Amino acid sequence: MTVERPFTRPLRSLVFAPGDDAEALTTTATSGADAMVVDLEEPRTPYPERERVRGRVVARGFFDSREPDELPWLFARVQPPSTGMTLRDLDAVVGPSLKGILLPKIESPADVHATDALLTCAEVEHGLPPGSLLIYPILETANAIRLAYEIAMASPRVGYMGGAISRFGDIHQAIGFRWTAEGEETLFLRSKVLVDARAADIRYPISGMWGGRVDDADGLRSFATGLRNLGYYGMMLGHAGHVPLVHEVFSPTAEDLAYWQELDALATAAEVEQQDASGDKILHGEPGQGEGHVVHIAHVGSARRNLAWARDLGLL
Protein backbone atom coordinates (compact mmCIF):
# COMPACT_ATOMS: atom_id res chain seq x y z
CA MET A 1 0.00 0.00 0.00
CA THR A 2 1.33 3.44 -0.89
CA VAL A 3 0.20 7.01 -0.24
CA GLU A 4 0.94 9.79 -2.72
CA ARG A 5 2.26 12.58 -0.53
CA PRO A 6 2.97 16.22 -1.47
CA PHE A 7 6.55 17.50 -1.63
CA THR A 8 8.27 18.04 1.70
CA ARG A 9 11.68 19.60 2.24
CA PRO A 10 14.05 18.57 5.03
CA LEU A 11 13.43 20.60 8.17
CA ARG A 12 16.50 20.54 10.38
CA SER A 13 14.88 22.76 12.98
CA LEU A 14 11.25 23.25 13.99
CA VAL A 15 11.14 26.01 16.63
CA PHE A 16 8.09 26.63 18.82
CA ALA A 17 6.83 30.15 19.54
CA PRO A 18 3.77 31.23 21.58
CA GLY A 19 0.97 32.17 19.23
CA ASP A 20 -0.28 34.94 21.52
CA ASP A 21 3.04 36.83 21.69
CA ALA A 22 3.64 39.05 18.64
CA GLU A 23 7.20 39.92 19.68
CA ALA A 24 8.19 36.29 20.19
CA LEU A 25 6.71 35.36 16.81
CA THR A 26 8.68 38.08 15.04
CA THR A 27 11.91 37.16 16.83
CA THR A 28 11.55 33.45 16.10
CA ALA A 29 10.89 34.19 12.43
CA THR A 30 14.34 35.79 12.19
CA SER A 31 16.18 32.94 13.96
CA GLY A 32 17.33 31.19 10.79
CA ALA A 33 15.22 28.12 11.57
CA ASP A 34 13.94 26.01 8.71
CA ALA A 35 10.44 26.03 10.21
CA MET A 36 8.56 27.43 13.18
CA VAL A 37 5.43 26.40 15.03
CA VAL A 38 2.92 29.03 16.08
CA ASP A 39 1.47 27.45 19.21
CA LEU A 40 -2.24 28.03 19.69
CA GLU A 41 -2.92 24.87 21.66
CA GLU A 42 -0.82 25.50 24.75
CA PRO A 43 1.37 28.60 24.52
CA ARG A 44 1.15 28.97 28.30
CA THR A 45 -0.76 27.73 31.31
CA PRO A 46 -3.40 28.70 32.29
CA TYR A 47 -4.84 29.71 28.93
CA PRO A 48 -8.57 30.49 29.28
CA GLU A 49 -10.83 30.97 26.29
CA ARG A 50 -10.82 34.78 26.55
CA GLU A 51 -7.04 34.67 26.13
CA ARG A 52 -7.37 32.22 23.25
CA VAL A 53 -9.62 34.70 21.47
CA ARG A 54 -6.98 37.40 21.88
CA GLY A 55 -4.19 35.02 20.89
CA ARG A 56 -5.94 34.07 17.67
CA VAL A 57 -6.03 37.73 16.65
CA VAL A 58 -2.28 37.99 17.26
CA ALA A 59 -1.64 34.83 15.26
CA ARG A 60 -3.84 36.01 12.38
CA GLY A 61 -1.84 39.24 12.13
CA PHE A 62 1.43 37.30 12.05
CA PHE A 63 0.33 34.87 9.33
CA ASP A 64 -1.07 37.72 7.23
CA SER A 65 2.31 39.48 7.41
CA ARG A 66 4.18 36.56 5.86
CA GLU A 67 4.64 35.67 2.19
CA PRO A 68 3.91 32.19 0.77
CA ASP A 69 7.00 29.92 0.90
CA GLU A 70 8.93 32.52 2.92
CA LEU A 71 11.39 30.89 5.31
CA PRO A 72 10.97 29.70 7.93
CA TRP A 73 8.06 27.55 6.85
CA LEU A 74 5.11 28.17 9.15
CA PHE A 75 3.15 25.52 11.01
CA ALA A 76 0.56 25.94 13.74
CA ARG A 77 -0.18 23.70 16.69
CA VAL A 78 -3.95 23.73 17.09
CA GLN A 79 -6.34 22.10 19.50
CA PRO A 80 -7.25 18.53 18.46
CA PRO A 81 -10.67 17.61 17.03
CA SER A 82 -11.68 15.98 20.33
CA THR A 83 -11.94 19.47 21.86
CA GLY A 84 -14.43 20.75 19.28
CA MET A 85 -12.31 23.90 18.98
CA THR A 86 -10.07 23.04 16.02
CA LEU A 87 -11.96 25.12 13.46
CA ARG A 88 -11.65 28.23 15.64
CA ASP A 89 -7.90 27.82 15.72
CA LEU A 90 -7.73 27.03 12.01
CA ASP A 91 -9.61 30.20 11.16
CA ALA A 92 -6.79 32.17 12.80
CA VAL A 93 -3.94 30.54 10.88
CA VAL A 94 -5.11 29.14 7.53
CA GLY A 95 -3.88 31.15 4.58
CA PRO A 96 -1.17 31.23 1.89
CA SER A 97 1.69 31.40 4.42
CA LEU A 98 0.64 28.29 6.40
CA LYS A 99 2.31 24.98 5.45
CA GLY A 100 0.45 22.74 7.83
CA ILE A 101 -0.61 21.99 11.37
CA LEU A 102 0.84 20.03 14.25
CA LEU A 103 -1.85 17.74 15.61
CA PRO A 104 -1.44 17.09 19.36
CA LYS A 105 -2.94 14.50 21.70
CA ILE A 106 -3.47 12.08 18.84
CA GLU A 107 -4.66 8.57 19.73
CA SER A 108 -5.42 6.83 16.44
CA PRO A 109 -5.91 7.26 12.68
CA ALA A 110 -9.44 8.49 13.42
CA ASP A 111 -7.92 11.77 14.69
CA VAL A 112 -6.11 12.20 11.37
CA HIS A 113 -9.29 11.48 9.40
CA ALA A 114 -11.22 14.10 11.38
CA THR A 115 -8.44 16.67 10.97
CA ASP A 116 -8.18 15.98 7.24
CA ALA A 117 -11.89 16.78 6.86
CA LEU A 118 -11.60 19.97 8.92
CA LEU A 119 -8.60 21.10 6.86
CA THR A 120 -10.55 20.57 3.64
CA CYS A 121 -13.32 22.82 5.00
CA ALA A 122 -10.77 25.45 6.04
CA GLU A 123 -9.01 25.34 2.67
CA VAL A 124 -12.26 25.95 0.82
CA GLU A 125 -13.21 28.72 3.24
CA HIS A 126 -9.86 30.50 2.77
CA GLY A 127 -9.43 29.90 -0.96
CA LEU A 128 -6.59 27.38 -0.80
CA PRO A 129 -6.26 24.34 -3.08
CA PRO A 130 -7.80 21.27 -1.41
CA GLY A 131 -5.13 19.02 0.05
CA SER A 132 -2.46 21.72 0.19
CA LEU A 133 -2.04 21.82 3.99
CA LEU A 134 0.10 19.21 5.74
CA ILE A 135 -0.57 17.31 8.94
CA TYR A 136 2.26 16.64 11.41
CA PRO A 137 0.89 14.23 14.06
CA ILE A 138 2.54 14.63 17.47
CA LEU A 139 2.78 11.18 19.02
CA GLU A 140 2.32 11.90 22.73
CA THR A 141 0.38 8.84 23.91
CA ALA A 142 1.21 5.16 24.24
CA ASN A 143 -1.48 4.27 21.74
CA ALA A 144 -0.15 6.78 19.21
CA ILE A 145 3.33 5.26 19.51
CA ARG A 146 1.84 1.80 19.02
CA LEU A 147 -0.12 2.92 15.93
CA ALA A 148 2.49 5.20 14.40
CA TYR A 149 2.49 3.48 11.00
CA GLU A 150 -1.31 3.45 10.76
CA ILE A 151 -1.40 7.13 11.74
CA ALA A 152 1.12 8.02 9.05
CA MET A 153 -0.88 6.11 6.45
CA ALA A 154 -4.21 7.68 7.46
CA SER A 155 -3.89 10.63 5.06
CA PRO A 156 -1.66 11.86 2.23
CA ARG A 157 -1.45 15.11 4.19
CA VAL A 158 0.85 13.49 6.77
CA GLY A 159 4.17 14.90 5.60
CA TYR A 160 6.25 14.88 8.77
CA MET A 161 6.34 12.65 11.84
CA GLY A 162 8.70 11.27 14.44
CA GLY A 163 9.26 10.40 18.07
CA ALA A 164 7.98 13.52 19.86
CA ILE A 165 10.11 13.10 22.96
CA SER A 166 10.09 15.71 25.74
CA ARG A 167 11.34 15.71 29.30
CA PHE A 168 8.14 16.73 31.09
CA GLY A 169 5.48 16.53 28.36
CA ASP A 170 2.55 14.26 27.62
CA ILE A 171 4.72 11.42 26.34
CA HIS A 172 6.53 11.34 29.70
CA GLN A 173 3.19 11.01 31.48
CA ALA A 174 2.01 8.34 29.04
CA ILE A 175 5.08 6.10 29.22
CA GLY A 176 6.48 6.93 32.65
CA PHE A 177 10.16 7.04 31.68
CA ARG A 178 12.73 8.90 33.75
CA TRP A 179 14.57 11.40 31.56
CA THR A 180 18.35 11.28 31.19
CA ALA A 181 20.66 13.42 29.09
CA GLU A 182 21.90 10.30 27.30
CA GLY A 183 18.37 9.41 26.16
CA GLU A 184 18.61 5.63 26.51
CA GLU A 185 15.14 5.55 28.07
CA THR A 186 13.54 6.91 24.88
CA LEU A 187 15.73 5.20 22.31
CA PHE A 188 13.15 2.51 21.59
CA LEU A 189 10.36 5.08 21.20
CA ARG A 190 12.38 7.17 18.78
CA SER A 191 13.55 4.12 16.85
CA LYS A 192 10.13 2.49 16.63
CA VAL A 193 8.45 5.63 15.30
CA LEU A 194 11.32 6.24 12.86
CA VAL A 195 10.89 2.80 11.28
CA ASP A 196 7.12 3.28 11.08
CA ALA A 197 7.52 6.71 9.49
CA ARG A 198 9.99 5.46 6.88
CA ALA A 199 7.80 2.43 6.15
CA ALA A 200 4.98 4.90 5.47
CA ASP A 201 7.27 6.86 3.12
CA ILE A 202 7.69 9.91 5.35
CA ARG A 203 10.73 11.28 3.58
CA TYR A 204 12.32 13.43 6.30
CA PRO A 205 11.30 12.29 9.83
CA ILE A 206 11.72 14.80 12.67
CA SER A 207 12.21 13.94 16.34
CA GLY A 208 11.43 15.61 19.62
CA MET A 209 13.11 18.16 21.84
CA TRP A 210 16.32 18.22 23.86
CA GLY A 211 15.25 18.20 27.49
CA GLY A 212 18.49 19.41 29.06
CA ARG A 213 19.72 22.80 30.14
CA VAL A 214 19.53 25.59 27.59
CA ASP A 215 23.26 26.29 28.00
CA ASP A 216 24.36 22.63 27.75
CA ALA A 217 25.64 22.80 24.18
CA ASP A 218 27.60 19.55 24.51
CA GLY A 219 24.53 17.68 25.70
CA LEU A 220 22.40 19.08 22.89
CA ARG A 221 25.06 18.22 20.31
CA SER A 222 25.32 14.66 21.60
CA PHE A 223 21.54 14.19 21.58
CA ALA A 224 21.11 15.70 18.11
CA THR A 225 24.00 13.64 16.73
CA GLY A 226 22.35 10.51 18.08
CA LEU A 227 19.12 11.45 16.30
CA ARG A 228 20.96 11.99 13.02
CA ASN A 229 22.83 8.70 13.44
CA LEU A 230 19.48 6.91 13.88
CA GLY A 231 18.11 8.38 10.65
CA TYR A 232 16.30 11.55 11.68
CA TYR A 233 16.72 14.68 9.56
CA GLY A 234 15.79 17.31 12.15
CA MET A 235 14.32 18.00 15.56
CA MET A 236 11.87 20.20 17.40
CA LEU A 237 13.34 23.05 19.41
CA GLY A 238 12.06 25.17 22.24
CA HIS A 239 14.90 27.71 21.99
CA ALA A 240 15.76 29.57 18.80
CA GLY A 241 19.36 29.99 19.98
CA HIS A 242 19.94 26.28 19.34
CA VAL A 243 19.30 26.61 15.61
CA PRO A 244 22.93 27.02 14.38
CA LEU A 245 24.21 24.00 16.32
CA VAL A 246 21.31 21.81 15.23
CA HIS A 247 21.68 22.85 11.59
CA GLU A 248 25.34 21.87 11.74
CA VAL A 249 24.48 18.41 13.04
CA PHE A 250 21.67 17.82 10.55
CA SER A 251 23.60 18.95 7.46
CA PRO A 252 26.04 16.83 5.44
CA THR A 253 29.69 17.80 5.67
CA ALA A 254 31.91 18.73 2.73
CA GLU A 255 33.55 15.32 3.09
CA ASP A 256 30.16 13.61 2.93
CA LEU A 257 29.25 15.46 -0.26
CA ALA A 258 32.58 14.69 -1.91
CA TYR A 259 32.27 10.97 -1.12
CA TRP A 260 28.68 10.71 -2.40
CA GLN A 261 29.53 12.64 -5.55
CA GLU A 262 32.50 10.39 -6.24
CA LEU A 263 30.39 7.24 -5.90
CA ASP A 264 27.77 8.77 -8.17
CA ALA A 265 30.39 9.69 -10.77
CA LEU A 266 31.99 6.23 -10.67
CA ALA A 267 28.63 4.52 -11.09
CA THR A 268 27.56 6.87 -13.87
CA ALA A 269 30.77 6.16 -15.78
CA ALA A 270 30.28 2.42 -15.33
CA GLU A 271 26.67 2.64 -16.50
CA VAL A 272 27.78 4.45 -19.65
CA GLU A 273 30.42 1.81 -20.31
CA GLN A 274 28.39 -1.20 -19.21
CA GLN A 275 28.98 -2.98 -22.52
CA ASP A 276 32.74 -2.93 -21.93
CA ALA A 277 33.98 -6.52 -22.20
CA SER A 278 36.39 -6.07 -19.29
CA GLY A 279 33.59 -6.15 -16.72
CA ASP A 280 35.80 -4.51 -14.10
CA LYS A 281 34.37 -3.96 -10.64
CA ILE A 282 33.86 -0.42 -9.36
CA LEU A 283 36.40 0.12 -6.59
CA HIS A 284 36.70 2.99 -4.15
CA GLY A 285 39.58 3.63 -1.76
CA GLU A 286 41.85 0.93 -0.40
CA PRO A 287 40.85 -2.69 0.34
CA GLY A 288 41.32 -2.41 4.12
CA GLN A 289 38.41 -0.02 4.49
CA GLY A 290 35.94 -2.91 4.37
CA GLU A 291 32.51 -2.96 2.79
CA GLY A 292 32.89 0.33 0.96
CA HIS A 293 35.87 -0.78 -1.18
CA VAL A 294 33.88 -2.78 -3.75
CA VAL A 295 31.01 -0.52 -4.78
CA HIS A 296 27.59 -2.13 -5.15
CA ILE A 297 24.33 -0.73 -6.46
CA ALA A 298 23.08 -0.27 -2.86
CA HIS A 299 26.03 2.01 -2.11
CA VAL A 300 25.26 4.06 -5.19
CA GLY A 301 21.57 4.25 -4.31
CA SER A 302 22.43 5.50 -0.83
CA ALA A 303 24.83 8.10 -2.22
CA ARG A 304 22.25 9.38 -4.69
CA ARG A 305 19.57 9.55 -2.01
CA ASN A 306 21.90 11.53 0.20
CA LEU A 307 22.73 13.87 -2.67
CA ALA A 308 19.00 14.45 -3.16
CA TRP A 309 18.82 15.38 0.55
CA ALA A 310 21.67 17.85 0.06
CA ARG A 311 19.92 19.36 -2.95
CA ASP A 312 16.68 19.72 -0.99
CA LEU A 313 18.69 21.55 1.67
CA GLY A 314 20.05 23.90 -1.01
CA LEU A 315 23.64 22.72 -0.51
CA LEU A 316 24.11 21.58 -4.13
For 187-228, write each residue's pLDDT tens digit. Answer: 999 999 999 999 999 999 999 899 999 999 999 999 999 999
Judge whether residue 257 has pLDDT over 60.
Answer: yes
Q: What's the CATH number where 241 sits?
A: 3.20.20.60
- Arithmetic mean of pLDDT, 97-106: 96
* pLDDT bucket at 288, cuts 50 / 70 / 90: low
Query: How far apart are the C-alpha atoms of 293 and 9, rounded to whole Å?
Result: 32
- Percent share of the chain, pLDDT over 90: 78
pLDDT for residue 169: 78
Residue type, 258: A
Residues 92 and 198 in one domain: yes
The percentage of residues in the chain with a pLDDT greater than 70, rounded to a whole number, is 94
Residue 50 domain-assigned (yes or no): yes
Residues 79 and 141 in one domain: yes
Residue 170 CB partners (closer than 8 Å, separation 6+): 104, 105, 140, 141
* Residue at which a domain ends, from 249, 270, 290: 249
| 222 occurs within a structural domain | yes
For residue 23, is it within any domain? yes
Segments forming the whole domain that contains residue 103: 13-249
For residue range 20-49, what is the model confidence (pLDDT) as tens digits? 999 999 999 999 999 999 999 999 999 999
Do 258 and 243 lie in one domain? The reply is no
The pLDDT of residue 173 is 83
Q: How confident is the model at residue 163 (pLDDT cuts 50, 70, 90)?
A: confident
In the chain, the number of structural domains is: 2
Residues 130 and 208 in one domain: yes
Statement: residue 3 has pLDDT above 60: yes
pLDDT at 275 over 60: no
Same domain for 220 and 260, yes or no, is no
For the segment 131-150, the average pLDDT, to the nearest whole number, is 96
- Mean pLDDT score of the chain: 92
Is pLDDT above 80 for 295?
no
Residue 182 maps to a domain: yes
Residue 277 has pLDDT above 50, yes or no: no
Give me the pLDDT at residue 286, please: 66
Domain boundary among 229, 249, 269: 249
Same domain, 172 and 280: no
Q: What DSSP character marks residue 72?
A: S
Same domain, 202 and 292: no
Residue by residue, DSSP assigns 209-258 as ---S-TT-HHHHHHHHHHHHHHT--EEEES-GGGHHHHHHHTS--HHHHH
